[in-house]
Amino acid sequence: MIAAYLVLLIPLVGIVYFALAGHKTDTGKLNVWFNGICLLATIWLAINVLNQGTIISSGKAFLIDPFNVYLIVLTAFVGFTTSIFSSPYMEHEKEIGKLSDKRLKLYYSMFQGFMLAMYLVLTSNNMGIMWVAMEGATLATVLLVSLYRTPESIEAAWKYFILCGVGIAQALFGTILLYYAAVQIGDGENALLWSVLYENADKLNPEILEIAFVFLLIGYGTKIGLVPLHNWLPDAHSEGPTPMSAVLSGLLLNDALYAVVRNKMLVDGATQSNMAGYLMMGFGLLSFLVAAVLLHRQKDIKRLFSYSSIEHMGLMTFAFGIGGPLATFAALLHMTVHSLTKSAIFVTVGHAAQLAGTQRMDQIRGLIKTQPKIGWGLLIGTISIAGFPPFGVFTSEFLVLLATMHSYPWLAPLLLLGIGIAFAGLFRHIQPMVYGDKPEAQKPIKANLWPVTIHLALVLWLGLAIPGFLAHWFSQATLLISGSTPL
Amino acid sequence: MNIEQLDFYTQAILSMAALVGLTSFLMLGQGRLLRLIFVFAMQGFLLTLTTALAAYSLNNHHLYISAVLTLVLKVVFIPWMLRRQVIQMNMHRDIEALKNNTAVMLGGASLMVFSYYVLHPIVQSSSVVMLNALAVSLSVMLLGMLLMISHRQAIAHVVGFMSIENGLFFAAIVATNGMPMVVELGVAFDVLVAAVLFGIFFLHIRTSIDSLDVDLLNKLHEVDK
Amino acid sequence: MGDQLMNWLIAVLQTTLFVVLAPLLAGWLKWCKCHLQNRKAPSLFQPYRDLLKLTNKQPVVAEQASWIFMIAPYIIFSATVLAATVVPLIAVNLPTSASADVIVMVGFFAFARFFLALAGLDIGTAFGGMGSSREMTISSLAEPAMLMAIFTLTMTASTTNLSFAIAHVLNEGLVLRPSFVFALAALVLVAIAETGRIPVDNPATHLELTMIHEAMILEYSGRHLALIEWASQLKLMLYGVLIANIFLPWGIAETFGVQALGYGLLAIMGKLALLAIFLAIAETLVAKMRLFRVQEYLSFAYLLGLLGMLSHIILEASR
């Protein structure tokens, strides 16, 4: 349990420290250290959970089980690699005069604030605190989206703030309804604890929980970026600093989905029907298809990949909605590989945009000729995210397709269609950027592509063979969520 | 069950629910920012009264803390902050011409009916009073959203946002006698931070587009032009 | 038989009280307002003196005036007095109020207003016609709101008879009803509009182009004017009593003993005095609004009435 407290404590110290001293020259490296120690702590926590099974803290405030511990490690890992990338990126931004000392303080402090909120969402056993942390994540990142203070970035941040704020209010209403159902069967103080609710799920009033789930799905669904509540996502991703886009896409969306799945587990227990699943499938599939189509109409490279994020989150929501062991396993795997790939892509995109001095895709040209590392990184990342074998995304998408064929065969053509449209949408934009002629004045820049290499290598590894301990881990989580194992 | 057979507490709660709903409607039709903020403060005050009433009649001490928190946050601090912003930016004489006011009002009424419809299944498992309280708070939330849609000033958006929070708070107090203290404190903290952030945002929006009319925030599109 | 006679006597007494006390209420209202506005107040009984003086003067009638102009003041006054018989002032369960309900009362008001508007048109002056047209516009908007508010009450009491309804509220004890809060607010707004007070109309001036009630009676003089003035004072009191006795009926006599009736009289005078103070404060604080905003004001009153009705059906209904 100490490990869990450590995971929460380190970013807390980080917030305060960086708020005071975030402008110093080596802050970026220090940020890497903070995240690195946090990663070690999460690994320690994961080993504990793997050995002992589910851990509940003494006051029942925190719950660590196989499902969330794997997400905690993933969060820490993506946070760590992003901080490695962010260090030179932010220095470059400071050098070209885009950011002042004050904003750097804000950036590093809120980076840690965001990490804290993410860890709190994942570790909290209390559904109310989970909501508070989720809202906290919005509050922490909203000023980062408008970090550059351009009219566009302020507009994006305002949209992000208002839409997510209003959206997440629905989730609080759902949580209140959940609590209302829970106090009818038990004592008030423990009635929001997930572990308590899960044990008594069959006693909860199914009518109330059905209504509650609709609100919860709308609320957290806004954060996942489900269509039609996705408008904030491309704006926030495209206007903020790139490391922020990487963590938003790789972590925030996952954690929102995590919250939905946690609630779905309760609702399924109470209603004994697949109502929650159908809702998730519907919204997921809609997001998947709409985002795939919208990929074709983008001009901004970061917006392009934000729509790709919406598409993949839709697919995951759909897979969790199907709900069988195979689909759940696939969704968990997809969560992992998507996080890794997408944050790698955003890191490369960040470098590419710095290289070309713009985010407009028709002005980014000849990456491979100017700086082959960046060009290849972007190309391989895109191949991976589009679902080509042998990368992990292919495996997970294939599994989702298999599960769909098994349970709802008539939906499989729609999925295939979506994957095809998305593939075309990505490649028609990427191809000229990577190849194409090199503009005159374009010069290589200082870039750190280690995070990208590590992420893509991991995704490749997951695509070729899932290591034993990870497979064991996934199947434990699958057992928890769906009630049986796929293997 | 007729109303005269209910106890006094329940009657009072129902009256409060009705009044809170009314304040939402008043906000919806209000084009003057200062009056809008005043009505919002009134709504906060009604919430404080409701909380204090619940605390008194249920003899629940932690609800007194929530009542004080609501008073400080929703009746004093946020209205004061918004008011100061309006006066600083010299907008207190502006009257926003609301488009389709009648349609918006009718829309508000249908949203209220809709929230009753949505929550109707609840009545099987609990009392009519709970249905009413929850439905009113849901409609306060929906009316808050409608307020944000129908007004163009950023300050009105913030008022709408905060009144959504009021609706949630009303549900929490009436239906469940308050959430656990730690959650309530967390939510209050979030609201406070959000209020401060909004203040910062007004400044940024003002410096970037020289107005607080959010219709002018229209540079980003779903599909790039 | 003796009881019956006694009841009728009390009913006549109550109506007489209405007629006699109405100028006093107007005087008290004026007195309060003067004090609030730092002016020297006329005596409480000034309205009586005014009425007396007007009655003694010879009326001057325009040459074009038809018989309608001549009889209108009498019809207006008597219709208002008849309306007063329906409203319980100091006691409930009287034979007059049992024979007619609240819709009849609204009907009497409408009747009086119809003749007032006709009289305004009759002479053919610009002001008279303008006043009549405005009066009809306002009343056509105010009446639905008023009926909506009163129906809320009558649905609660399951009767449209004012006397029985008040008795019902009285016997129920203190019940907080959200619908009554809305109905009260709606009725107050309507009462202000119907009796021509600020912010809808200003009773104290003949100079504004926005006048409504005064515009219609500009041509009247002498005893005709006295009757119309008296009728409008009576109307103000009627609305006051309606508000006071429906929403706060405590004190009204349910039996016909001398003591009960005395208490009833004291109670209603106290309530009216308080209401008048509130009205005076409101009139001092609020400015008159533009004529074209009156419809907004009245539609708000209607909205309140509607909300009252809805909250009666939704919040208080038995299921």
Q: What is the ipTM of this complex?
A: 0.93
Whole-number Å distance between alpha carbons of C217 and C224: 10
Residue B1 pLDDT > 60: no
- Closest partner residue to A156 (CB to CB) among B138, B220, B223 is B220
- One digit per residue, the tens of pLDDT, for chain C of length 319 reads 677 888 888 889 889 999 999 999 999 999 999 999 999 989 999 999 999 999 999 999 888 889 999 999 999 999 999 999 988 888 888 888 778 888 899 999 999 999 999 999 998 888 889 999 999 999 999 999 998 998 888 888 888 888 888 888 888 877 778 888 889 999 999 999 998 888 888 877 776 677 888 888 888 999 999 999 999 999 999 999 999 998 888 888 888 888 888 898 999 999 999 999 999 999 988 888 888 888 888 988 998 898 888 888 877 765 4
Q: Coil, helix or strand for A444?
A: coil
- 8 A C-beta contact, residue A412 and residue A315: no
Whole-number Å distance between alpha carbons of C42 and B42: 39
CB-based contact B194 A139, cutoff 8 Å: yes
CB-based contact B125 A184, cutoff 8 Å: yes
Tokens of C128: 């008279």
- Domain ranges, ordered by start, for chain C: 2-315
- 8 A C-beta contact, residue B57 and residue B49: no
Mutate to test the interface with A, among B220, B223, B224 (most CBs of A within 10 A): B220
In 3-state terms chain B splits into helix, strand, coil percentages (rounded to 5) of 80, 0, 20
Which of chain B's residues have a Cβ under 8 Å away from the Cβ of C304?
A: 22
CB-based contact C319 B128, cutoff 8 Å: yes
Q: Answer yes or no: is B222 within a domain.
A: no
Which of chain B's residues have a Cβ under 8 Å away from the Cβ of A191?
A: 180
Residue A66 pLDDT > 80: yes
For the segment A53-72, the average pLDDT, to the nearest whole number, is 87
Which of chain C's residues have a Cβ under 8 Å away from the Cβ of B1?
A: 318-319
Chain segment A270-325, per-residue pLDDT in tens: 888 888 999 999 999 999 999 999 999 888 999 999 999 999 999 999 999 998 89
Strand (E) or helix (H) holding A55: strand A55-56
Strands (E), A62-142: 63-64
- Closest partner residue to A129 (CB to CB) among B126, B182, B197 is B182
Which of the other chains make 3 or more beta carbon contacts under 8 angstroms with chain A?
Answer: B
Which of chain B's residues have a Cβ under 8 Å away from the Cβ of A192?
A: 179-180, 183
Which of the other chains make 3 or more beta carbon contacts under 8 angstroms with chain C?
Answer: B
Which of chain B's residues have a Cβ under 8 Å away from the Cβ of A184?
A: 125-126
Chains A and B touch (3+ CB pairs under 8 A): yes
Helices assigned H by DSSP within chain B: 8-28, 33-58, 61-70, 78-88, 101-119, 128-150, 154-176, 181-209
Instruction: Indicate the angle between helix axes A127-145 and A232-239, nearest 10 degrees.
Output: 50
Q: Return the residue matching tokens 């021509």.
A: C196
Residue B3 pLDDT > 70: no
Q: Which of residues 125-144 of B touch A (CB under 8 A)?
A: 125-126, 130, 134, 137-138, 141
Tokens of B179: 């959430």
Q: Of C199, C237, C230, C196, which Cα lies nearest the Cα of C84? A: C237
- The Cα of A73 is separated from the nearest Cα of chain B by a number of Å equal to 25
Distances, alpha carbon C311 to alpha carbons B3, C19, C155, C305, in Å: 11, 36, 12, 10
CB-based contact B183 A132, cutoff 8 Å: yes
- Could you count the other beta carbons within 10 Å of the beta carbon of residue C53? 11
- 8 A C-beta contact, residue C276 and residue C29: yes
Nearest CA in chain B to C175: B4
Which of chain C's residues have a Cβ under 8 Å away from the Cβ of B57?
A: none
Q: Answer yes or no: is B141 within a domain.
A: yes
Nearest CA in chain A to B117: A211
Q: Would you list which residues of chain C are within 8 Å, Cβ to Cβ, of chain B?
A: 172-179, 181-182, 303-304, 307, 311, 314-319
Which of chain A's residues have a Cβ under 8 Å away from the Cβ of B208?
A: 149-151, 154
Residue C252: its pLDDT value, please? 87
Nearest CA in chain B to A61: B182
CB-based contact B154 A158, cutoff 8 Å: yes
Residue B210 pLDDT > 80: no
Q: Coil, helix or strand for C60?
A: coil
- The Cα of A248 is separated from the nearest Cα of chain B by a number of Å equal to 19
The residue count of chain B comes to 225
Q: Coil, helix or strand for C253?
A: strand
Residue C90: its pLDDT value, please? 86
Distances, alpha carbon C71 to alpha carbons C61, C125, C221, in Å: 12, 19, 13
Tokens of C85: 């018989």
> B89: which DSSP letter?
T
Q: Of A112, A137, A353, A355, which Cα lies nearest the Cα of A242? A: A353
For the segment A405-410, the average pLDDT, to the nearest whole number, is 92
Which of chain B's residues have a Cβ under 8 Å away from the Cβ of C172?
A: 4
Chain segment B84-123, per-residue pLDDT in tens: 988 888 887 777 777 777 788 888 888 988 888 888 887 7
Domains in chain B, number: 1
- Domain ranges, ordered by start, for chain A: 274-301+311-487
- The Cα of B28 is separated from the nearest Cα of chain C by a number of Å equal to 13
Which of chain B's residues have a Cβ under 8 Å away from the Cβ of A173?
A: 137-138, 141, 167-168, 171
CB-based contact B122 A149, cutoff 8 Å: no
Find out whether the peptide bond into A241 is cis, omega within 30 degrees of 0.
Answer: no
Side-chain-facing half-sphere of A468: CA atoms under 13 Å: 0
Whole-number Å distance between alpha carbons of A400 and A334: 9
> C85: which DSSP letter?
H
Chain segment C246-273, per-residue pLDDT in tens: 888 888 888 888 888 889 899 999 999 9
For the segment A338-351, the average pLDDT, to the nearest whole number, is 91
A94, exposed or middle or buried, with CB in 10 Å at 0-12, 13-18, 19+?
Answer: middle
- Residue A53, amino acid: G
Mutate to test the interface with C, among B7, B10, B15, B138 (most CBs of C within 10 A): B15
Banded pLDDT at B58 (limits 50, 70, 90): confident
- Residue B144, amino acid: G
CB-based contact C315 B18, cutoff 8 Å: yes
Distances, alpha carbon A356 to alpha carbons A345, A450, B125, C101, in Å: 16, 21, 62, 84
- The Cα of B131 is separated from the nearest Cα of chain A by a number of Å equal to 11
Q: Coil, helix or strand for B99?
A: coil
Chain segment A83-98, per-residue pLDDT in tens: 988 888 888 888 888 8
The residue count of chain C comes to 319
Which of chain A's residues have a Cβ under 8 Å away from the Cβ of B130?
A: 180
A446, exposed or middle or buried, with CB in 10 Å at 0-12, 13-18, 19+?
Answer: exposed
- Closest partner residue to B18 (CB to CB) among C303, C311, C318 is C311
Residue B225: its pLDDT value, please? 56
- The Cα of C122 is separated from the nearest Cα of chain B by a number of Å equal to 37
- 8 A C-beta contact, residue A123 and residue A63: yes
Residue C319: its pLDDT value, please? 46
Residue A487: its pLDDT value, please? 61
Whole-number Å distance between alpha carbons of B172 and B178: 5
Q: Coil, helix or strand for A389?
A: coil
Whole-number Å distance between alpha carbons of C30 and C279: 10
Query: Dihedrals φ, ψ of A97, to 5°?
Result: 80, 20
Lowest mean pLDDT among A452-456, B21-25, B216-220: B216-220
- The Cα of B97 is separated from the nearest Cα of chain C by a number of Å equal to 14
- The Cα of A479 is separated from the nearest Cα of chain B by a number of Å equal to 30
Q: Of B168, B36, B29, which Cα lies nearest the Cα of B109? A: B29
- In total, the C-beta contacts within 8 angstroms joining chain A to chain B are 141
Which of chain B's residues have a Cβ under 8 Å away from the Cβ of C178?
A: 14-15, 17-19
- Could you count the other beta carbons within 10 Å of the beta carbon of residue C67? 8
- Closest partner residue to B157 (CB to CB) among A162, A172, A231 is A162
Distances, alpha carbon A134 to alpha carbons A114, A143, A145, A172, B195, in Å: 10, 16, 17, 10, 17
- Closest partner residue to A154 (CB to CB) among B164, B172, B204 is B204
Nearest CA in chain C to B136: C315
Interface check B2 vs C, CB under 8 A = yes
Which of chain A's residues have a Cβ under 8 Å away from the Cβ of B175?
A: 176, 180
The domain in which residue B37 lies consists of: 3-216
Residue B34 pLDDT > 70: yes
C118, exposed or middle or buried, with CB in 10 Å at 0-12, 13-18, 19+?
Answer: middle
CB-based contact C307 B22, cutoff 8 Å: yes
> DSSP letters of A42-85?
HHHHHHHHHHH--EE-TTS-BEE-HHHHHHHHHHHHHHHHHHHH
- Closest partner residue to B1 (CB to CB) among C179, C307, C318 is C318
Chain segment C204-239, per-residue pLDDT in tens: 777 667 788 888 888 899 999 999 999 999 999 999
Which of chain A's residues have a Cβ under 8 Å away from the Cβ of B171?
A: 173, 176
Which of chain A's residues have a Cβ under 8 Å away from the Cβ of B162?
A: none
